[in-house]
Amino acid sequence: MRIYSTLFEKGIGNTINLLTCALTIVHINDIYVPKIRYDFDSFSIKYQIGPIYIEHRISMMEIQHSDLPLEEFVCSIKRYVLIKYFCEYEDKNKLMWNAVHDEIKQNAISDTLKSCIKLAGDTHE
């Protein structure tokens, strides 16, 4: 794999620059540049997409023994990040809509109780 050979030919800094450029995600007018660190024999790749943080770690063993070309390697990481983003985004929206649904339900119950109390109050005359 090209990253592994680049690491030894050009060093960690150049490899991180290569990965940063290759793993940048562009969506309409937004650009998401990952923060990449090399530590403990692996690369830590972190994205911030809106309020959501996503991290992916890949070890040197995976890179060294992978037969994937750089393009497929990059696509697989981007695919992983986007899937994680959409899962977290959906979970956050689900929590928000559940809270809204609960509030609507509470308001409906409250309105029903008020009308029942009003009706019950009218029968005591």
Q: Is the pTM of this model over 0.75?
A: no
Residue 57, Cα to own-chain centre: how many angstroms?
Answer: 14
pLDDT tens per residue across span 70-118: 888 889 999 999 999 988 888 877 767 777 667 776 766 666 666 776 6
How far apart, in whole angstroms, are the C-alpha atoms of residue 75 and residue 92? 26
- Let me know if 68 is exposed, middle or buried by CB neighbors in 10 A (0-12, 13-18, 19+): middle
Q: Two tokens at 23? A: 């793993």
Nearest CA to 85 out of 40, 30, 39, 43 is that of 30
Sketch the domain layout of the chain as residue ranges: 2-122
pLDDT tens per residue across span 23-78: 999 988 999 999 999 988 899 999 999 888 999 999 988 888 877 788 888 899 99
Question: At a CB cut-off of 8 Å and minimum separation 6, what does 14 contact?
Answer: 6
